[in-house]
Amino acid sequence: MSEQNCLVRNEWVCGEYLRTRSQELVDATVQHVGITVASVVIGVLISLPLALLARRRRAFAAPVLGLTTVLYSIPSLAMFSLLLPLFGLSPALVITGLVLYSLTILVRNILAGLQSVPEEATEAARGMGYGPLRLLWEVELPLALPALLAGVRIATVSTVALTTVGAIVDYGGLGTLILGGLDSDFKAQVLTASVLCVALAVLADLLLLGLQRLLTPWTRATRGRGPRPRRRRVAAAAPALPEPEKVA
């Protein structure tokens, strides 16, 4: 009987809510994951050529990095609203906004990864007769992969959190449930959706970490073998600046 009543008493934690509204939660989670995955995938597809161009031409690098940084400081609610006349109320609106945010992190990380490829490696590959495309695909991209995937992880985690703001146009996944719960003062719905959202971010981060370890086995090869000269040199060369934050 207490289970039935927790909905009536409007408690924060409510088993009855989970049972009766599981379909709603699943639908919102699926929408949330779909929007996040689409945004990050499109973001990677756009930022890879941008980073390659920025590396080749210095004149191109400054405007790309500058513009994406400016976009990054626009509040998410304003970003979605500014895109409203272009897309109307649609998932494309939310995805476009999230892609624009992900570009800042992704372009910087891919660029840093490509620039950290040792000169000797590319020289050796060229000497072996590698053309530019094969050099990129077989030497440079694999060596840039750790930095690239680190960027994807950061972009994914912040995108999961930012997707909730899409609730303003009804395409915020779990955020739609959170906002709906506020309007109807429905505590169990707000808490459950919030917890699911954080769990989703943590899960995505762990999955990508696993992928990173699978794809870059050589980064672990030196572990536990006394001094690690390579790691130390990379650490010294890497910029100490923390990643920019994006939570709103």
Residues that bind another protein (CB under 8 A): 70, 73-79, 81-82, 84-85, 154, 157-158, 160-162, 164-165, 167-169, 172, 175, 178-179, 181-182, 185, 187, 190-191, 193-194, 197-198, 201-202, 205, 240-248
Q: Which is nearer to another protein, 47 or 159 (CB)?
A: 159
Q: Which is nearer to another protein, 78 or 124 (CB)?
A: 78
Shortest distance in whole angstroms from residue 97 CB to another protein: 11
End-to-end CA distance of the chain: 41
- Which residue carries 């109307």 as its tokens? 88
Q: Checking phi first, is residue 129 left (phi over 0); if not, alpha (psi -120 to 50) or beta? A: left
Shortest distance in whole angstroms from residue 40 CB to another protein: 14
Q: Which is nearer to another protein, 16 or 205 (CB)?
A: 205
Q: Which is nearer to another protein, 79 or 139 (CB)?
A: 79
Shortest distance in whole angstroms from residue 218 CB to another protein: 25
Q: What distance in Å separates the CA atoms of residue 129 and residue 111, rounded to the nearest whole number? A: 25
| Tokens coding 107 | 């372009």
Q: Which of 211, 201, 207 is nearest to 148 (CA)?
A: 211
Across 3-37, b (16+ Cβ under 10 Å) vs e yields: eeebbeeebeebebbeeebeeebeebbebbbebbe
Shortest distance in whole angstroms from residue 245 CB to another protein: 5
Q: Which is nearer to another protein, 53 or 199 (CB)?
A: 199
Shortest distance in whole angstroms from residue 78 CB to another protein: 4
Shortest distance in whole angstroms from residue 35 CB to another protein: 13
Q: What distance in Å separates the CA atoms of residue 57 and residue 49, rounded to the nearest whole number? A: 12
Q: What distance in Å separates the CA atoms of residue 209 and residue 123, rounded to the nearest whole number? A: 30
Q: Which is nearer to another protein, 102 or 139 (CB)?
A: 102
